[in-house]
Chain A
Amino acid sequence: MILVRDWRRRTPKGLGLQTTIVAAVFVIAGHANAMETTALQAKIGYCQDCHGSSAQGYRGYLPIPRLAGQQTGYIENQLRAFIEHRRTNNIMFNVAHTLSPAMISALAAHFRDLNPPPIGGAPRELVAAGEKIFQDGVPDANIAACAACHGPQASGTGQIPRLAGQLYPYVIKELMNWGKERGQNPTVPDTSAIMSPVAHSLSRSQIEAVAAYVSYLK
Chain B
Amino acid sequence: MMKHFRFATAIVAFICLAATSSAGRAESLAVRNCTWCHGGGAQGYLPAPRLAGQRAEYIWHQLLEFGRHTRDNPFSKMYMWPAAANLSPKTAHDLATYFSALPAKAANDGETALIAQGRAIYQQGMPDSNIVACVVCHGPAAEGVREIPRLGGLEYSYLKRRLEQWGQGYNVAAGPPMPHIAGNLSPGDVEAIASYLSFLK
Contact = CB atoms under 8 A, between A and B. Distances in A.
Contact of B124 (A42, A46, A53, A94): A94
B125 to A, nearest CB: 6
Interface of B: 124-125, 127-128, 130-133, 135-140, 143-146, 148, 175-177, 180-181
A16 to B, nearest CB: 43
Given A45-B180, A60-B145, A60-B148, A50 B127 contact: no
Contacts of A90: 124
22 contacts: A46-B132, A48-B177, A49-B177, A49-B180, A50-B177, A52-B176, A53-B176, A58-B137, A59-B146, A60-B148, A61-B135, A61-B137, A61-B138, A61-B140, A61-B148, A62-B136, A62-B137, A64-B136, A91-B125, A91-B133, A94-B127, A97-B127
Nearest to A43: B130
Q: Nearest 10 A-B pairs (CB), nearest first?
A: A60-B137, A46-B130, A61-B139, A49-B177, A98-B127, A53-B176, A49-B132, A61-B145, A60-B136, A42-B130
Given A53-B176, A94-B124, A45 B135 contact: no
Given A61-B136, A95-B125, A49 B181 contact: yes
A16 B177 CA distance: 52
B180 to A, nearest CB: 6
B65 to A, nearest CB: 19
A190 to B, nearest CB: 23
Interface string A74-113: 0000000000000000110011011000000000000000
Nearest to A97: B127
Contact of A45 (B130, B133, B139, B143): B130
Interface string A50-77: 1011000011111010000000000000
Contacts of A53: 175-177
B136 A50 contact: yes
Interface residues of A, number: 21
A91 B136 contact: yes
Contacts of B128: 98
B143 to A, nearest CB: 8
A91 B135 contact: yes
Most chain B beta carbons < 10 A, residue from A61, A95, A97: A61
Nearest to B140: A61
Nearest to B146: A59
Given A95-B125, A95-B127, A50 B137 contact: yes
A50 B143 CA distance: 18
A129 B127 CA distance: 41
Contacts of B140: 61
A98 B180 CA distance: 20
Contacts of A45: 130, 180
Nearest to A90: B124
Contacts of A61: 135-140, 143-145, 148
Contacts of B177: 48-50, 53
A58 B188 CA distance: 28
A216 B132 CA distance: 28
A93 B168 CA distance: 31
Given A50-B136, A60-B137, 19 more contacts: A46-B127, A46-B130, A46-B132, A49-B132, A49-B176, A53-B175, A53-B176, A59-B146, A60-B136, A60-B145, A61-B138, A61-B139, A61-B140, A61-B148, A64-B136, A91-B125, A91-B136, A97-B127, A98-B128
Contacts of B136: 50, 60-62, 64, 91
Contacts of B139: 61
